[in-house]
Amino acid sequence: MADLAHSQVTAGHDGGTRRDFLILTAGALGGIGAACAIWPFIDSLNPAKDTLALSTTEVDLAPVQAGQRLTVAWRGKPVFIDHRTPEEIKAAQDVDVASLRDPQPDSPLGNKPGDDRGQYGGWFCPCHGSVYDTSGRIRQGPAPLNLIVPPYDFTSDTAIKIG
């Protein structure tokens, strides 16, 4: 009789272990299946390949002479590259930064030729009449902030990668 009771307990215990194993296995497979089903939706949130292609722009600076400006497109926005003369750099560094609306020092981290550059020789925005100096700092007009400087890296002495 004792042997019979012992075999029933053992059989019941084995069944519980098997049931636990099957529940855990089914749950794991269900979780993996859900992850596989959801992955395409998560992956669709990544930027498209054409957007990633526009995320950087490389510019050859060799033909740009002192006092000359280039305008290139980066992420659909204009980026002004200005090869300032030593006089323009000195004038921008001599400005009292505390007097600026958006105070930023001139640190060396365009318009088209003939366009109005404003009274500070930088950029003039005809849309709302804001005037920027040669460092891209707001000097007059309704613009609340300076021109944005995008991330950049010099890939050689005469080339720059924007973005």
Rounded CA-CA distance 132/88 in Å is 13
Q: Are 142 and 101 in contact (CB under 8 A)?
A: no
Q: Are 130 and 141 in contact (CB under 8 A)?
A: yes
Active-site annotation holder among 6, 13, 83, 128: 128
Active site residue 13: no
Tokens of 150: 């995008």
Residues with catalytic roles: 128
